[in-house]
Amino acid sequence: MTAQLLDGRSVSAAKLEELTAEVSRFVRVRGRRPVLATVLVGDDPASHTYVRMKVNRCHQVGIESRRLDLDAGIGTEELCRVISELSADPEVDGILLQHPVPDHIDERAAFEAIDPGKDVDGVTRTSFAAMAFTEDGFASATPGGILALLDAYGVPLSGRHAVVIGRSAILGKPMGMLLLGRDATVTYCHSRTANLREHVQRADVVVAAVGRPGIIKGEWVKPGAVVVDAGYADNQGDVEFDTAAKRASFITPVPGGVGPMTIATLLTQTVRAAERQAAAFTAAQ
């Protein structure tokens, strides 16, 4: 292997340490802890694991978590009502609705029930627009975490050709927008893209966000390219790691690359939301 690892575990650990100090200051000044509400619908084992990891990390840095585990049979209307109540609750700073929700639920409607000021996972239209217009707002947590990881290693983005494979609303699309906001030249690939191989071969930066193990062949990677693998299915990423690592300059491991950065971004944005909410409360007194 010649590539340097983009080590999300160590970068996120450093970020969480800084955040722990910030939370202590917040508690001292405000007399309360930041609060993240997590909403999980149904019994998908992977989603349960993700929520448990997020709740554990909250406790590690001193954020209070309020966990709502809802029955898989809940309807869109009832779920939106529950989320709207959290949006209106002054004791809640941030809201995470774990994606994906069961198929019968209108996920977009449920996301839009989150108050944009509490949208610490960056899933609402308001957050999406802020990313698109490079305005101040909450970044989509996984793309925001990927950008933070690239920044931690000083990976230049301006003028470079970034190829994002995947265009989901929570990952691929916002990833491309954030890279565009950093002056990369962005190509999106998806299930209808012809000649995926040729696009990847031209990329200075590859972000794989599909969820199909090994769909990106290591031999497609341009020598010296930066490879970020957000995919995770059957305990594997989207990129053939061993061959890609021989050609890339930087590469994320799976696991231990993107996942920990997603959680660090979620928690960082929760503390930002709490600070804003506390400042607004003080100003209103």
**Cα–Cα distance, 237 to 147 (Å, whole number):** 18
State in angstroms the smallest separation of the CB of 113 from ligand NAP.
20
Percentage helix, strand, coil for the chain under 3-state DSSP, each rounded to 5: 45, 15, 35
State in angstroms the smallest separation of the CB of 281 from ligand NAP.
32
State in angstroms the smallest separation of the CB of 269 from ligand NAP.
14
Neighbouring C-alpha atoms within 13 Å toward the C-beta of 120: 30
Nearer to ligand NAP (CB atom), residue 76 or residue 168: 168
Residues tagged active-site = 54, 98, 121
Nearer to ligand NAP (CB atom), residue 100 or residue 116: 100
Give residues in contact with ligand NAP (CB under 6 A).
Answer: 142, 165-168, 170-172, 189-193, 196, 209-212, 215, 230-233, 258-259, 262
CA angle 180, 186, 192 (to 5 degrees): 135
What does the DSSP 8-state code read for residue 237?
A: -
Nearer to ligand NAP (CB atom), residue 74 or residue 200: 200
Classified as helix, coil or strand, 36 is strand
Nearer to ligand NAP (CB atom), residue 60 or residue 84: 60
Rounded to 5 degrees, φ, ψ at 33 are -95, 150
The residue sitting closest to ligand NAP, measured at its beta carbon, is 211
State in angstroms the smallest separation of the CB of 89 from ligand NAP.
26
